[in-house]
């Protein structure tokens, strides 16, 4: 697993960390205004990931690239969902002005996956150990070890042991895996954490996280089944 310096604004720091973790990297989070202090660490890191999901992506990108403009040993990945072709062109122009070499613009998840696979040896899910698969699944869903322990009716210590030793009975978390697959179809990965804590009218204003902790993951899956048939979620 490789270290990746993740540069993100405070309001997107958690989702940026989860996003990078899913590609098999070990994120080292850094705020934009403290990037200069982290310069020494950046020089030891092969990749810097700039997560542009805040309100001012252009200002954030300029600040990040200025700090590493002379560091030719660092690959910089810029990830964003621009609102228009014009905004995408503006981001590309900033890269061209400040750091045209070894800076990669990614506007889709599969582009990020391809970069990580080539540059840091991202391991596809089907080739990961049970420990990696289970821990990644939990993080993709934005769940804590306590959340999953409650959902599976085991202790948090059991979850810790499964993740550290790789002894994970896959049948125990089959519903969580099915839910994760469904979320990938309907909800952007960066929005999963917010969805987990959003009260649902379908479940008397309880949140998906609460339902999962009550062992009712299957109820959420059935609700997605209603969505597939055209009924509101």
pLDDT in tens, 39-91: 555 456 788 999 988 667 788 899 889 888 888 778 899 998 887 888 888 99
pLDDT-derived band at 13, boundaries 50, 70, 90: confident
CA distance 182 to 134: 17
Question: Mean of the per-residue pLDDT values for the chain?
Answer: 80
pLDDT-derived band at 130, boundaries 50, 70, 90: low
Alpha helices per DSSP H over 69-166: 85-98, 109-119, 130-140, 145-152, 156-165
pLDDT-derived band at 232, boundaries 50, 70, 90: very low
Residue 178 has pLDDT above 50, yes or no: yes
Q: Which CATH class is domain 2-119?
A: alpha beta
Report the phi/psi class of residue 166: left, alpha or beta, with left for phi > 0 and alpha for psi in -120 to 50. left
Q: pTM higher than 0.75, yes or no?
A: no
58 vs 16, 80, 198, 201, CA distance in Å? 17, 10, 30, 37
Q: What is the per-residue pLDDT for 84? A: 80
| DSSP letter, residue 52 | E
Percent of the chain with pLDDT over 70: 81
- Number of Cβ atoms within 10 Å of the Cβ of 126: 6
Q: Where are the domains of the chain?
A: 2-119, 126-228
Percent of the chain with pLDDT over 90: 17
Q: Mean pLDDT, to the nearest integer, of 160-167?
A: 74
| DSSP letter, residue 4 | E
Instruction: Give the torsion sign (CA, 109, 110, 115, 118).
Output: positive
pLDDT-derived band at 134, boundaries 50, 70, 90: confident
Q: For 11-25, 86-100, 150-164, 195-209, which range has the lowest pLDDT when averaged over its residues? A: 11-25
CA distance 10 to 14: 8
Is-contact 48 64, C-beta < 8 A?
Answer: yes
Q: Shortest CA distance to 197 belongs to which of 143, 160, 154?
A: 143
Residue 34 has pLDDT above 80, yes or no: no
CA distance 191 to 2: 25
Residue 170 has pLDDT above 90, yes or no: no
């Amino acid at each position: 697993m490789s270290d990746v310096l993740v540069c993100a604004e405070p309001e997107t720091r958690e989702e940026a960390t989860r996003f990078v973790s899913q590609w098999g990297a070990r994120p080292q989070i850094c705020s934009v205004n403290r990037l200069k202090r982290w310069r020494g660490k950046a020089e030891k890191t092969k990749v810097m990931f700039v997560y542009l999901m805040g309100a001012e992506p252009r200002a954030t990108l300029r600040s990040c690239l200025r700090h590493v403009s002379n560091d030719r040993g660092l690959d910089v990945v810029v990830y964003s969902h621009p609102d228009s072709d014009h905004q995408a062109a503006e981001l590309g122009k900033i890269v061209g002005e400040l750091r045209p070499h070894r800076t990669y613009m990614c506007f889709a998840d599969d582009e990020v996956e391809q970069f990580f696979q080539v540059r840091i040896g991202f391991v596809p899910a089907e080739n990961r150990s049970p420990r990696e698969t289970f821990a990644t699944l939990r993080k993709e869903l934005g769940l804590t070890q306590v959340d999953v322990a409650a959902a599976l009716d085991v202790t948090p210590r059991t979850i810790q042991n499964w993740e550290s030793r790789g002894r994970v009975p896959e049948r125990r978390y089959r519903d969580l895996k099915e839910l994760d697959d469904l979320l990938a179809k309907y909800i952007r990965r960066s929005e999963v954490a917010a969805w987990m804590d959003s009260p649902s009218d379908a479940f008397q204003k309880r949140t998906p996280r609460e339902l999962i902790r009550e062992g009712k993951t299957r109820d959420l899956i059935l609700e997605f089944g209603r969505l597939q048939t055209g009924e509101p979620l």
